[in-house]
Chain A
Amino acid sequence: GEDVEQSLFLSVREGDSSVINCTYTDSSSTYLYWYKQEPGAGLQLLTYIFSNMDMKQDQRLTVLLNKKDKHLSLRIADTQTGDSAIYFCAESIDSNYQLIWGAGTKLIIKP
């Protein structure tokens, strides 16, 4: 069945780049998303990418998609303490179809 996998933790130094990785199994996935969840807060849509794209950049965020390997990554440049959160990867085969979620990667920032 459909599955989305992420490593549970990532620790980086403030100012370095963070790269959060995600793999998915459904080759028919059309939309891939990154969400951010801060402690006690909801799910904030950071960015998304269509499956016909390889890369999308939005300020400090860069999303890379390797459709052949079903691998998605989120790069956060110049990581700040405010970036501390859990980052969820999610996929959907249709813009209005249910989202399939990864377990989330907790980003820990070291001073």
Chain B
Amino acid sequence: EPEVTQTPSHQVTQMGQEVILRCVPISNHLYFYWYRQILGQKVEFLVSFYNNEISEKSEIFDDQFSVERPDGSNFTLKIRSTKLEDSAMYFCASSGPTSAGSFGWFFGPGTRLTVL
């Protein structure tokens, strides 16, 4: 089964710095997402992306966040000026058909972002 991949696995940054989290979704999927999970809390939706534009975003996804699909394979999440409360595990996901002919959501292994 194809996988969603994410890099880096762990990112440490200083407050106020910009970070870019990278994801390679499954190649024949058309919908892409970012979720985050603050330690000990629920998984939260950030943004969904379809046809090269944001299709939906949550209240968390403010002006400090942006997403981009710079080429045919990568999907990135940028945080312009990180805050301490941005420390979390960030999961990329894509949705689409599976090899078994059904439908699925697939998540990457996550990037742990630590803001100091």
Using a CB–CB cutoff of 8 Å, the interface residues on chain A facing chain B are 33, 35, 41-45, 48, 88, 90, 95-104
Q: Mark B14-43, 1 if CB is under 8 A from A, else 0.
A: 000000000000000001010100000111
With most chain A CB atoms within 10 A of its CB, the pick from B43, B56, B58, B93 is B43
User: Please, which residues of chain A bring their CB within 8 A of the CB of B44?
Assistant: 101
B9–chain A nearest beta-carbon distance, Å? 10
Q: State the CA gap A110–B103 with chains docked (Å).
A: 34
Check if B74 is an interface residue, CB within 8 A of chain A: no
Check if B95 is an interface residue, CB within 8 A of chain A: yes
Q: Mark B67-109, 1 if CB is under 8 A from A, else 0.
A: 0000000000000000000000001010100000001111111
Contact of B105 with A99 in the complex, beta carbons under 8 Å: yes
User: Please, which residues of chain B bring their CB within 8 A of the CB of A104?
Assistant: 42
Contact of B45 with A99 in the complex, beta carbons under 8 Å: yes
Using a CB–CB cutoff of 8 Å, the interface residues on chain B facing chain A are 31, 33, 35, 41-45, 48, 50, 55-56, 58, 91, 93, 95, 103-110
Q: State the CA gap A102–B42 with chains docked (Å).
A: 7
Contact of B48 with A98 in the complex, beta carbons under 8 Å: yes
Contact of B106 with A98 in the complex, beta carbons under 8 Å: no
Given A95-B95, A97-B56, check contact A42 B107 (CB 8 Å). Answer: yes
Closest 10 CB pairs of A and B: A42-B109, A43-B107, A98-B45, A101-B43, A96-B31, A42-B110, A103-B42, A101-B42, A42-B107, A45-B104
Contact of A98 with B33 in the complex, beta carbons under 8 Å: yes
Given A96-B31, A96-B48, A98-B33, check contact A41 B109 (CB 8 Å). Answer: yes
User: Please, which residues of chain A bring their CB within 8 A of the CB of B33?
Assistant: 98
Given A48-B105, A98-B56, 5 more A-B residue pairs with CB atoms under 8 Å apart are: A33-B105, A43-B107, A43-B110, A96-B31, A97-B56
Closest residue to A43 on the B side, CB-wise? B107
B28–chain A nearest beta-carbon distance, Å? 14
